[in-house]
Amino acid sequence: MDNSLPGACEAQDRPMTPSLGAQQFPDRPFTVAEAREHGVSRKRLGARDLTAPFWGVRMKNDGESATSDDPSTTPGRCRAFSLRMPDHAVFSHITAAELHGLPLPRALRNLSSLDVTVPEGERPIDAKDIRGHCHRLDPIDIEELGGLRLTTVARTWCDLASVLDQVELVAVGDRIIFHDKPYATRDELARAVDAHGRRWGARPLRAVLPRLSDRAESPRESRLRMMIVDAGLPAPYVNPEIPCTCGSIHRIDLAYAALRIGIEYDGDHHRTDRHQWRKDVTRIRHLEALGWSMVRVTAGDLESPASLFRTLRDKIDERIRSLTR
């Protein structure tokens, strides 16, 4: 146990000055039991300069905690709860996905509650701000990251099937197997899906696994690709590299290479970043000089895609007709 608390035994029940408090309490979560062992009174532990992220746990409330221990972040809350979490429990589902750095929908990021799973046969954890789960946990499903016990990336992806739709599952799965910096391989995901058996989410997992791409570079690209295919259009190639006569290599988000039709998602930074905007204009000019027909997609197209789908169908039909003349 860290011995940075001994000075707290000199604490009085009156509130400490910030400087004195900073000397007496560590810049990390600590348990009430730990503080009591060092002579800190219960009244002192209830003072306003301390916060209680979970029952039996305290942290300084001065905004000076290390980033990894900040109770306003998921890692910080996990570190705080880990002090009272049973040894057989692990962080899982949405919480594990955040700890691994996987791309989640905005509405699921940095939730105040944490997902904690215990093995079958154990009682799910019932505590404030904890979503308790009870599922089969094999040793291969568990790892340690930054001192925290959590489900592996592959197992986490399977667990996310209970809260994400298929498009969102693909976006996370694409990131997991991304060829440049993969978290796991497609085969590892397949083995995890097999082990998932018939549990909740097994059917969508088996449905989306063949649809993952190891070349998608953003969740928006993944979502766009899925929407295009689900609309009955051909599956586009992901991020092909097109050599240009100027010597450059241009990459296109999605493409029908044989028809020379490219699809580009333009996020806000493409509009607000002047350098990026100029780069995009030059790149598209080069591609069009090579005979490519480019379709630029915005966030609005993702919300109301009917016009986008019509444009793509028209371009595909036009290119096919030109090839058969």
136-175 tens-digit pLDDT: 999 999 999 999 999 999 999 999 999 999 999 999 999 9
Classify 248 as helix, strand or coil.
coil
What stretch of H or E contains 114?
Answer: strand 114-119
The pLDDT assigned to 18 comes to 35
How many C-beta atoms surround the C-beta of residue 303 within 10 A?
7
What stretch of H or E contains 265?
Answer: strand 261-265
pLDDT band at 39 (very low <50, low <70, confident <90, very high): confident
164-218 tens-digit pLDDT: 999 999 999 999 999 999 999 999 999 999 999 888 889 999 999 999 999 999 9
* 36-65 average pLDDT score: 81
How many C-beta atoms surround the C-beta of residue 143 within 10 A?
17
The Cα–Cα gap between 62 and 203 comes to 47
The pLDDT assigned to 68 comes to 62
How many C-beta atoms surround the C-beta of residue 36 within 10 A?
14
252-302 tens-digit pLDDT: 999 999 999 999 998 755 556 677 788 888 889 999 999 999 999 999 999
Classify domain 219-324 at the CATH class level.
alpha beta
pTM: 0.84
* Distance, C-alpha 36 to centroid of its chain: 38
So where are the chain's domains? 6-65, 85-211, 219-324
pLDDT band at 63 (very low <50, low <70, confident <90, very high): low
The pLDDT assigned to 66 comes to 52
Decide if 172 contacts 102 (C-beta within 8 A): yes
Burial zone of 105 (CB within 10 Å; 0-12 exposed, 13-18 middle, 19+ buried): middle
210-252 tens-digit pLDDT: 999 999 999 999 999 999 999 999 999 999 999 987 788 999 9
pLDDT band at 24 (very low <50, low <70, confident <90, very high): low
The pLDDT assigned to 59 comes to 84
